[in-house]
A and B are shown apart, each in its own frame.
Chain A
Amino acid sequence: MASLAGLARNLSKQKIIWPILAIVVLFLFNLIVIPDFFRMEWKDGHLFGNLIDILKNGSPLIIIAIGMTLVIAKEGIDISVGSVLAISGALAVFMLNGYPLWVVVLAGIGAGLLCGLWNGMLVAILGIQPMVATLILLTIGRGIAQLITGGQVLTTSNKAFQFIGKGHLLGLPFPLFLAMGVFLIVYLFKTRTAFGLFLEAAGGNKTASSYAGIRPKVIFMTAYTITGICAGIAGIIISSNIASADANNAGLWIELDAILAVVIGGTSMRGGRFYLGGTIFGALFIQSLTTTIYSLGVEPSSILLVKAVVVIIVCLIQSDLFRQSFKLAKKKVAAS
């Protein structure tokens, strides 16, 4: 028994356990309330079901959340991802008339890269606070996207382009493979290159790492650029999934979901260590929550309310002060 308790204690120190636990609790709830939730079917050569939907619809969120993790690890934030996503999607669908697919995809990702560089420049070189610096692109971004689409919802019937968001590979949705690819690249980047180490170091303590010879500016620029690229990829996936570009609504509020995913995943808003695996499960948890609410038949609008409550609970649990006050109350009870 003692070893079991010890194991539990060790596990609870692993940050990744919390989002997984949250998903397990949610799925247990689903198992009881919606027995049909886990049913899967094999139709037209690929799998169908709620779980597949979670993976498919969650892919853009996972990709953006990975980028957001890098930025938050640097004690920053990027609230412009939703607008960048809209720009990239709008540009991709707009360019489909007359350009080959690979140019279109590169242009979408390139737009994300430029936006990321712009954010990085404002934060690293001009030294503006990250939230405010990215606020500029949040405001302008949707304007630019509308400029590209001419204020209309552009649609496309290009089958090859639609495969990116809608297609299936080995019976699984294609966006999932993209998300896994992005995760692998960033993970290898973090563990196998010096950059990853520098990233954590510069997020932990800027002054110390600058004395150690790391140039925080370059690291900051890189982190924001990667986030921009991630948003660009997500923009292409989303616009391809709905076969259209909607400058106003594409990726609306996805920045909030992404930040939530990162925080649930155990990465602190104060920078330092970051947990890519935790972020992925955080994103999956949010997507599962959304899908659950939809399949419960509750009005989709109430999802905001649920998310608000979840955010506050997660933040309170992560707050040292909250846990301390809890412990103090326990001790008082024990003493009396």
Chain B
Amino acid sequence: MKKVSLKISHNNIIVLATLLLLFILYGSGAALYKGFFSMQVFLNLFIDNAYLIIVATGMAFVIIKGGIDLSVASVVALISMVSAALFQQGANAFVVIFAALLIGTLFGAGQGYLIQRFQLHPWIVTLAGMFLARGISFLISTESIVISNPTFVLLSQHKIYVWEKNFITISVLIALAVVIAAILIGRYSSFGRAVYAIGGSEKSAILMGLPVARTTITVYTLSGLFSAIGGIVFTFYMLSGYSLHLMGMEMDAIASCVIGGILLTGGFGYLIGPTLGVLCTGIIQTIIMFQGTLSSWWTKITIGFLLFLFMAFQRIIVMRKEKSALPASKNKPNFENKVVNL
């Protein structure tokens, strides 16, 4: 972010609020619990959530474009399953990684094609994609398969020391690289600008001569690719393939995007947002872990509550924007803007 965005405005207020929330959460955790304010606890946030950061960043592109991708969690599970099955057949680690990326990309491209070519609802298509990916991984095996490939174990357990004894894993580096790449794509490529434009108004984007069809398909392909990368990172983390991995994680990814200030109506949001959102939910989980007596379902309830707060916040900002944009038509009913289709 450049100098200009240091000023608080409509554009960055949500991201700033997320940052503030992050500090408050981290600060209260550090104040309440001994040992919370350590470098390693902070780094663990990245280690434990690297896959979610990657997947949520992919989801952010889709949401900014004005769509949704519900298949991400199933694709991650499918990738873990496929890699485990390939290792059972004695495949090479790099072949497995290549196959995983290929599967994710093709899966995303297929969904994008159906959505764009036949104007189907992204909700329904990616829902079918979610069923399909889970179904395929069930077909491969319903049991959990352990991965013992030496390359994967090495990649998964290699520690990179950043400060004395505090370490991160290779997965964290991958996640950070993905986020930086996403920010660069979103800000400086013509594809990124087209995504924002289509999310703002698809009709205007068509009239402007932007390649709407190509961009739509690419967005879903990108989400599939990011899910595949997330799947590989998750496989590093778990070292097992299981068809029931990460049930319902697509909702976590969407929640992270919302908390990170991606506007669900599309067309707006910083790509650093999802990472901040993931860190927020990660800190809540850590606090509940440190607290010890609170049960795990409080995580769900707190995240849901945050989701509500940020959504209401988004609405208020959008409403104020609409008001300032349409001072003349104040008295006219304006229903088509109020409830956006899905």
The residue of chain A having its C-beta at the shortest distance from the C-beta of B265 within the complex is: A129
A319 to B210, CA, bound (A): 24
- Verify B254–A135 contact, CB threshold 8 A: yes
Residues of A within 8 A of B335 (CB): 206-207, 210, 216
Smallest CB-CB A-B distances: 5 pairs: A305-B135, A140-B304, A301-B138, A143-B300, A308-B131
Residues of A within 8 A of B304 (CB): 136-137, 139-140, 143
Residues of A within 8 A of B305 (CB): 140
A315 to B114, CA, bound (A): 10
Contacting A269 at CB < 8 Å: which of B124, B139, B319?
B124
- Verify B336–A206 contact, CB threshold 8 A: yes
A residues bordering B, Cβ < 8 Å? 75-77, 122-123, 126-133, 135-140, 142-144, 146-147, 151, 206-207, 210-211, 216, 220, 256, 259, 263, 269-270, 299, 301-309, 311-312, 315-316, 319, 321-322
Given contacts A206-B335, A299-B139, A319-B119, 15 further A-B contacts (CB under 8 A): A122-B311, A128-B264, A129-B265, A140-B304, A143-B298, A146-B300, A220-B339, A301-B135, A301-B138, A307-B131, A309-B128, A311-B127, A315-B120, A316-B114, A322-B118
- Verify B138–A299 contact, CB threshold 8 A: yes
- Verify A127–B297 contact, CB threshold 8 A: no
Q: Which of B295, B300, B333 has the most CB of A within 10 A?
A: B300
- Verify A315–B131 contact, CB threshold 8 A: no
The residue of chain A having its C-beta at the shortest distance from the C-beta of B121 within the complex is: A269
Please judge, given known A-B contacts A139-B303, A256-B127, whether A301 and B339 are in contact too, CB under 8 Å: no
Residues of B within 8 A of A139 (CB): 251, 255, 300, 303-304, 307
Interface string of B35-48 (1 = CB under 8 A from A): 00000000000000
A3 to B335, CA, bound (A): 46
A311 to B304, CA, bound (A): 29
Main secondary structure of the interface of B (DSSP, over half): helix
- Verify B118–A319 contact, CB threshold 8 A: yes
A139 to B309, CA, bound (A): 14
Contacting B131 at CB < 8 Å: which of A126, A207, A305?
A305
Q: Which of B265, B333, B335 has the most CB of A within 10 A?
A: B335
Please judge, given known A-B contacts A136-B311, A140-B301, A312-B125, whether A319 and B136 are in contact too, CB under 8 Å: no
A133 to B300, CA, bound (A): 16
Residues of B within 8 A of A259 (CB): 124, 127
Contacting A311 at CB < 8 Å: which of B131, B336, B341?
B131
Residues of B within 8 A of A307 (CB): 128, 131, 135
Residues of B within 8 A of A302 (CB): 135, 138-139
The residue of chain A having its C-beta at the shortest distance from the C-beta of B295 within the complex is: A151
User: Is B68 in contact with chain A by the CB < 8 A criterion?
Assistant: yes
Q: How far is the CB of B228 from chain A (nearest CB, A)?
A: 19
Contacting A147 at CB < 8 Å: which of B136, B297, B338, B341?
B297
Q: How far is the CB of A248 from chain B (nearest CB, A)?
A: 10
User: Is B340 in contact with chain A by the CB < 8 A criterion?
Assistant: yes
Q: List 25 A-B contacts (CB under 8 A).
A: A75-B342, A129-B339, A129-B340, A132-B311, A136-B311, A139-B300, A143-B298, A147-B297, A210-B335, A269-B121, A269-B124, A269-B342, A270-B341, A301-B243, A304-B135, A304-B138, A305-B131, A309-B132, A311-B131, A312-B125, A315-B118, A315-B124, A316-B114, A319-B119, A319-B120
User: Is B315 in contact with chain A by the CB < 8 A criterion?
Assistant: yes
- Verify A129–B295 contact, CB threshold 8 A: no
Please judge, given known A-B contacts A312-B114, A315-B121, whether A151 and B339 are in contact too, CB under 8 Å: no
- Verify A132–B300 contact, CB threshold 8 A: no
The residue of chain A having its C-beta at the shortest distance from the C-beta of B132 within the complex is: A308
Contacting A144 at CB < 8 Å: which of B136, B296, B301, B340?
B301
Interface string of B129-141 (1 = CB under 8 A from A): 1111011101100
- Verify A304–B134 contact, CB threshold 8 A: yes
User: Is B238 in contact with chain A by the CB < 8 A criterion?
Assistant: no
- Verify B251–A126 contact, CB threshold 8 A: no
- Verify A129–B264 contact, CB threshold 8 A: yes
Q: How far is the CB of A115 from chain B (nearest CB, A)?
A: 12
The residue of chain A having its C-beta at the shortest distance from the C-beta of B304 within the complex is: A140
Interface residues of B in 246-291 (CB under 8 A from A): 251, 254-255, 258, 264-265
- Verify A130–B311 contact, CB threshold 8 A: no
Residues of B within 8 A of A132 (CB): 254, 258, 264, 311
Q: How far is the CB of A288 from chain B (nearest CB, A)?
A: 18
- Verify B139–A136 contact, CB threshold 8 A: no
Residues of A within 8 A of B117 (CB): 321
